[in-house]
């Protein structure tokens, strides 16, 4: 039966989990393995773990961490951070990861996605694309690695990633990151009309209503979030959590 996927995204840095606001002001929120255990108990659909410093430091997500998550997790999980070779993908998959998330390496060389998809299968390769608006409100590709936006047409780049064979594409709004005020529905409405590859939304989710709002305005059916899974209450106390969703009711409203 058709059902939305609700996926926590955990940001990993220097041995612990952090949460950002617009890719800045990172706050420590806890231990990754403890978070995995909590999501196990909550029957989370999937999990994504991203090492946010790996590309900058020219390293990759810790294989030991991936192995520990694989031994603990009851749900499928994806990992990302500094993945720029077939060898690294093979190492991560053989140590427990179900999929890999590639970002910086794709912006530098989209053909790497084609090579990886052919080698491991498209269903194993997810590409994360960071989108940021300029002062005129126009969308551009943003590079966390270079800390800058690219001047090219963002739609052409996304299409090139689709053509290269990515199995899924995470579209992350830099402007909405950590704001907890809802997704940028306009970008998902636009892209879901233009590309056939499944899109995963990321950036801005603060409650289940935000997922429903996006479901109602686009063809997106996979929802990632960070803050809504690690904060609780108006004062944003740190509490790893997973929302209770009546999926039958969710479908009745928006199908």
CB 137 within 8 A of CB 144: no
Residue 240 has φ and ψ, to the nearest 5°, of: -65, 125
Confidence band, pLDDT 50/70/90 cuts, at residue 252: low
Per-residue confidence (pLDDT) for residue 152, from 0 to 100? 79
Q: What are the pLDDT digits (tens) for 25-37? A: 999 999 999 999 9
Per-residue confidence (pLDDT) for residue 247, from 0 to 100? 61
According to DSSP, the β-strands at 168-173 and 139-143 are unpaired
Q: Catalytic: which of 53, 130, 177, 184? A: 130
| Tokens encoding 129 | 């694309």
**What is the pTM for the complete model shown?**
0.93
Domain definitions of the chain by residue range: 5-254
72-82 mean pLDDT: 97
**133-166 per-residue burial string, b: 16 or more CB within 10 A, e: under 16:** beeeeebbbbbbbeeebeeeebeebbbebbebbb
213 is catalytic: no
What is 5-254's CATH superfamily? Aldolase class I (3.20.20.70)
Q: What are the pLDDT digits (tens) for 110-131? A: 999 999 999 999 999 999 999 9
| Residues in contact with 235: Cβ distance below 8 Å, sequence separation at least 6, in sequence order | none
């Amino acid at each position: 039966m058709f059902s939305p996927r609700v996926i926590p995204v955990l940001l990993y840095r220097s041995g612990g989990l952090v949460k950002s606001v617009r890719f800045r002001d990172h706050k420590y929120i806890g231990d990754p393995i403890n978070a995995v255990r909590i999501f196990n108990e909550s029957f989370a659909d999937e999990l994504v773990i991203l090492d946010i410093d790996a590309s900058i430091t020219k390293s990759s997500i810790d294989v030991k961490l991936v192995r520990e998550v694989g031994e603990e997790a009851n749900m499928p999980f994806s990992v990302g951070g500094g993945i720029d070779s077939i060898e690294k993908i093979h190492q991560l998959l053989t140590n427990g990861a179900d999929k890999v998330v590639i970002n910086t390496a794709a912006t530098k060389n989209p053909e790497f996605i084609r090579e990886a998809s052919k080698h491991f299968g498209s269903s194993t390769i997810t590409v994360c694309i960071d989108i940021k608006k300029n002062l005129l409100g126009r969308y551009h590709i943003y590079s966390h690695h270079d800390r800058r936006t690219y001047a090219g047409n963002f739609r052409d780049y996304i299409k090139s990633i689709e053509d290269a064979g990515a199995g899924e594409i995470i579209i992350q709004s830099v402007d909405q990151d950590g704001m907890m005020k809802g997704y940028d529905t306009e970008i998902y409405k636009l892209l879901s009309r233009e590309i056939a590859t499944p899109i995963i939304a990321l950036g801005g989710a603060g409650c289940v209503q935000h997922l429903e709002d996006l479901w109602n305005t686009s063809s997106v059916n996979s929802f990632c979030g960070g803050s809504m899974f690690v904060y609780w209450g108006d004062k944003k106390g740190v509490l790893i959590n997973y929302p209770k969703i009546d999926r039958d009711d969710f479908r009745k409203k928006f199908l």
